[in-house]
Amino acid sequence: MREPHSAAAPGVIVVGAGIAGLTAAYRLARLRPDIGVRVIEAGHHLGGWIRSERRDGFLLEHGPDTFLARKPGGMALCHELGLDECLIPTLPQPQKAFIVRGGTLHPLPEGMSGLVPGRLGPLLASRLLSVRGRLRVGAEPFVPRWNAPGMDEETVAGFIRRRFGDEAYRWLFEPLLCGIVAGDGEVLSVAGVAPRLLELESRYGSVLRGVRRTRTAPDAGGPTGFVSFRDGMGTLPATLEAAMPGVQVMRGRRVTAIRPLSDTGWEVAMEGSTSEAAAVVLAVPAWVAAPLVEAWQPSLSRALAGIDFASTATVSFGFSRLPADPALRGYGYLVPTAEPDGGPVLACSWSSSKLPGRAPADGFLLRVFLGRGETSGTDADLVSIARAEVGDRLGIDREPLLSVVSRHERAMPQFTLGYRERRETIDRLAAMVPGLALAGASYDGIGLPDGIRSGEGAARIVVEYLDLRRAA
């Protein structure tokens, strides 16, 4: 059966309704209101891994709970959608985050922005590192630039060890890396994961020197740290859907194949039906996109399949009010791989200490993040691991009011060595296919602003193609 399409002008199909796909559809409808846009989503939920839920007075996040305000893309779209008043910053805390070492929670040195250290002073004062480790960090400005003939990529671990030392990598940068991408720094490419570090070294000869020279005063016009929405991150995909009434959203329809047509554009096959479009945006993970293009572009399929992914899970616990504990006056903690009793636990976030309105007045909400290849057990298994973590680490031995497991199978793209070559190959091969655009975390990063930026870019590619096609 062929799906009807009522639009007078050739339409566009967006496959996937994560944040990149929704942004692409929204932008296409705004830039070219004369075309019909359809979004096809295999599931019944819009927003991908972004999903908020209210339960028993708690506001749960099944995916990300914040995004970085200063990163391009996120705040601009929120402003355009009229969401400024819905945004909330993280709560001010005496100490924002901790890292576990030797069973003790050590404050994360101030000024860390992702994997980029903003200030040398807090690093040198931190008890997280030994005196020798701190002195090695202080020597970073005197470390020469990397010069390895015949090699154009370096692992994250290799870069950090070379510039800051092994101890800083194991106890500071590695847990931050796991918290961001749930990956192994021994195989991840610094060019793919932290290109800012490479840029600072290349331009200034030192990361710390480069940070000092490029530091700017905070923008007084708005937040620069992490922000969320008063009613949860699900606010954004819901608002995007409401802001594009002319876009047809098809839920519960899995795309099984796409095929370029010589005269009319594209044929998109779903279970039980087919549909045609002038252009297609594939806003699905690379491992989902690979088999869709294999029949007519095997080289692109192989390049997409070459991107690795990691699975993670979170366990959310809602408790009645906990005793006033100074250790909980922060946002949570990270667990390094080097910590002997860490196991699959990557981090623990104290959601109701981090954001307002996440728990009832007499409640406390926290999330335990699990990874390191050990998330395939039953829900009961994951809850047991998480209960042991908060019991041993935080001394919380009471029964939770609720326990909720959220699984993220093959959700985190791993930009391993060879990232630059793979990305260049994917971009080149995709550009050779008229009317096709790729979008999503597989290519442009895992954060919400990255997904928005990726969707915007895909929309521009499609609009340029349609304009050329119309002019021909």
In 3D space, the residue among 454, 450, 441 whose CA is nearest the CA of residue 412 turns out to be 441
Which of 68-82, 88-102, 252-266 is most confident? Answer: 68-82
Residue 91 makes CB contacts below 8 A (sequence gap 6+) with 353, 354, 355, 356
pLDDT at residue 143 tops 50: yes
In 3D space, the residue among 103, 110, 167 whose CA is nearest the CA of residue 135 turns out to be 167
Q: Is 55 helix (H, G, I), strand (E, B) or coil?
A: strand
Taken in order of first residue, the domains within the chain and their CATH numbers are 12-48+233-307+416-471 (3.50.50.60), 111-214 (1.10.3110.10), 308-414 (3.90.660.20)
pTM: 0.92
pLDDT at residue 91 tops 60: yes
The rounded distance, in Å, linking the Cα atoms of 284 and 39 is 12
- 218-227 pLDDT, tens digit per residue, is 444 455 589 9
Element (H, E) at 363: strand 363-370
The rounded distance, in Å, linking the Cα atoms of 158 and 212 is 23
Which pLDDT does position 316 carry in this prediction?
98
Q: Compute and round to an integer the Cα radius of gyration of the chain.
A: 23
Which pLDDT does position 232 carry in this prediction?
98
Residue 393 makes CB contacts below 8 A (sequence gap 6+) with 100, 103, 105, 333, 348
pLDDT at residue 311 tops 80: yes
Q: For 362, left (φ over 0), alpha (ψ -120 to 50), or beta?
A: alpha
> Max CA-CA distance within the chain?
71
Q: Which is higher by pLDDT, 472 or 378?
A: 378
Mean pLDDT of 410-415: 94
pLDDT at residue 1 tops 80: no
- 106-121 pLDDT, tens digit per residue, is 999 988 877 888 888 8
Mean pLDDT of 351-380: 93
Which pLDDT does position 325 carry in this prediction?
57
Q: Is 92 helix (H, G, I), strand (E, B) or coil?
A: coil
CA terminus-to-terminus distance, the chain: 31
Q: What percent of the chain has pLDDT over 70?
A: 93
Mean pLDDT of 231-238: 98
- 338-360 pLDDT, tens digit per residue, is 999 889 999 999 999 999 999 99
Q: Which is higher by pLDDT, 445 or 157?
A: 157
pLDDT at residue 31 tops 80: yes
Which pLDDT does position 328 carry in this prediction?
63
Length of the chain, in residues:
472
- 413-454 pLDDT, tens digit per residue, is 999 998 889 999 999 999 999 999 999 999 988 899 999 999
In 3D space, the residue among 372, 359, 377, 370 whose CA is nearest the CA of residue 315 turns out to be 370
Average pLDDT over all residues of the chain:
91
Cβ distance 36 to 12 under 8 Å? yes
Which pLDDT does position 9 carry in this prediction?
41
Q: Which of 2-16, 84-98, 236-250, 286-300 has the lowest mean pLDDT?
A: 2-16
Which pLDDT does position 215 carry in this prediction?
75
In 3D space, the residue among 248, 331, 217, 233 whose CA is nearest the CA of residue 29 turns out to be 248
Tokens 């791989």 -> residue: 337
Written as one string, the DSSP assignment of 236-302 is HHHHHHHT-TTSEEE-S--EEEEEEETTTEEEEEETTEEEEESEEEE-S-HHHHHHHHTTT-HHHHH
Mean pLDDT of 231-240: 98
Which pLDDT does position 463 carry in this prediction?
95
pLDDT at residue 307 tops 60: yes
The rounded distance, in Å, linking the Cα atoms of 453 and 459 is 10
